[in-house]
Amino acid sequence: MTQDARTAFLELDLPGLEAWCGARGMPRFAARQLAEWVYAKGTIDLGTMTNLSKAHRDLLAHEMRFLQGDELRDLEATDGTRKLLLGWPAPGVTLPVLGVATGRETECVMIPSEERRTACVSSQMGCPVGCRFCASGLEGVEGNLTAGRIVEQVWRLARKPGVGRVTNVVFMGMGEPLANASAVMDAIRTLNAPWGLGISARKITISTVGLPTAIRKLCDFELPVTLALSLHAPNDELRRRIIPWAEYSTVPELLDACQEWFRKTGREITLEYILLGGFNDRREHAEELSRVARTIRANVNLIRYNEVDGLPFARPGDDDVLVFQRVLREAGVNTHIRASRRGRDIKAACGQLRHEALRAGG
């Protein structure tokens, strides 16, 4: 493999792109023209960029790479959900050989509905948290994704037939976003920027397993994103059985950080709760969760577990889910059941994303 010294377009913000153009004798306004072609018009074909001179397009062809990843697999579910498997080169080298799994793969998902187009993106290659019920951490973590590689997932999903404009982005794919906070925030700036993809910050959700210090730092982020806490259990004893990182912070500590989030941002937090059949989906769990949820300004998203081959958890029964929701609502907690079946037939549903080995059954 050889080194690729070209500049990665998606890693640059507008001032950085202006500086790059200026350093190469291009007018600074060419940066906005490039951003319009790539983000607004969705093209990286230099041949179509006719408002740039032929000399400048030749320069770009030699010194700029617009995409960094390699699209290894594209699957579409019967419900219209789409899943992409992307391969990322190691630092300083070109793309890996097609069809060869390296552990540097991630998945992202497009979830369409009548009123929105939601991109579910990854922030890391794998996941360091290792939740016992989740596929994403089965092989551990290979490394962080850069801001440009996060943006690239949304850009690629938006280019798929019938998708059009992406309206929502959720950091609920592979990885713990707050363990890669700097790149995630830079990516959000590009996703939100008028010169970028122009997605409302309020429609961008960061989902975290819970890092109190990182949540407090996120309070000072200048964009009004939505925060979701992956709680998944109403007490520390139960939570530590399924979330290894729960050893490092207690539920009260997490709630305190979430209180600070609300005080500083004025934005309600979402408590995510995966219902695991026979484990955390009983009435007593719902009653305890209702007491927890009422201590902060929060709503609760209930998520039916999606089975993962080789893991010992089961999907809860529909009646159990409805009883769980009713207990919370009767206690005054705003509670919704997420449509977690989307993409199940291509293993694109919540908790099913993982390093896909490019082999039969991978």
Q: Model confidence over 254-286: pLDDT tens digits?
A: 999 999 999 999 999 999 999 999 999 999 999
Contact yes or no for 222/244 (Cβ under 8 A): no
Q: Give the residue, 10 or 95, on which the prediction is more confident.
A: 10
Q: Contact, 122 vs 145, CB < 8 A?
A: yes
- What type of residue is 245? W
Cα distances (angstroms) measured from residue 178 to each of 83, 236, 257, 271: 23, 21, 14, 16
pLDDT in tens, 38-61: 999 999 999 999 999 999 999 999
pLDDT for the residue numbered 338: 85
Beta bridge partners of 176: none
Question: What is the arithmetic mean of pLDDT over 221-228?
Answer: 97
* Range name among 20-24, 75-79, 240-244, 283-287 with the lowest pLDDT average: 75-79
Which residues touch 206 (CB under 8 Å, ≥6 apart)? 171, 177, 178, 184, 218, 225, 226, 227, 228
> What average pLDDT does range 150-163 have in this prediction?
95
Q: How confident is the model at residue 79, as a pLDDT?
A: 86
For residue 133 the two structure tokens come to: 């019920």
pLDDT for res 204:
98
| 204-208 β-sheet, strand order | 70-76, 82-87, 105-112, 117-120, 168-171, 204-208, 226-230, 269-275, 298-304, 335-337
Q: Is the pLDDT of residue 353 over 80?
A: no
Contact 291/279 with Cβ under 8 angstroms? no
- Of 20, 23, 45, which is closest to residue 32 (Cα–Cα)? 20
Mapping DSSP to helix (H, G, I), strand (E, B) and coil, where does residue 190 land?
A: helix
pLDDT per residue as tens digits for the range 185-199: 999 999 999 999 999
Q: What pLDDT sits at residue 308?
A: 81
Digit-coded pLDDT (tens) for 290-345: 999 999 999 999 999 988 888 889 999 999 999 999 999 999 999 999 875 554 55
Residues 207 and 228 sit within 8 Å (Cβ to Cβ): yes
**Residue 297's pLDDT is what?**
94
Mind listing the domains of the chain with CATH numbers? 7-65 (1.10.150.530), 70-346 (3.20.20.70)
Catalytic residues: 107, 350
CA 101 to chain centre: 21
Angle (CA) 230 233 235, round 5°: 120
Q: What is the pLDDT of residue 92?
A: 54
